[in-house]
Amino acid sequence: MNLGRLLTAMVTPFDAELRVDYGRARELARKLVADGSDGLVVCGTTGESPTLSEEEKLRLFKEVKEAVGSSVPVVAGTGNYCTAESVALTKAASNTGVDAVMAVVPYYNNPPQEGLYRHFRAVAESTSLPVIMYNIPSRSPRNLEAATVARLAKDVPNIAAVKESSKNLEQVAQIVASTPDTFAVYSGDDSYALPIMSVGGYGVVSVAAHVAGPLMRQMVYAAAEGRTAEAARINQRLLPLFKALFITSNPIPVKAALKLAGFPVGGLRLPLVEATEQEEAAVASALKQCVS
Name the residues annotated as catalytic.
134, 163
Cα–Cα distance, 286 to 241 (Å, whole number)? 5
DSSP result, 24-63: HHHHHHHHHHHTT-SEEEESSTTTTGGGS-HHHHHHHHHH
Q: Rounded to whole angstroms, how far apart are CA atoms 88 and 109?
A: 19
- Residue 76 pairs in a beta bridge with 42, 101
Helix 277-291 crosses helix 252-260 at what angle (to 10 degrees)?
Answer: 60
CB under 8 Å to 170, separation ≥6 — which residues? none
Contact (CB, 8 A) for 209 and 41: no
* Exposure of 260 in the CB half-sphere (CA atoms within 13 A): 24
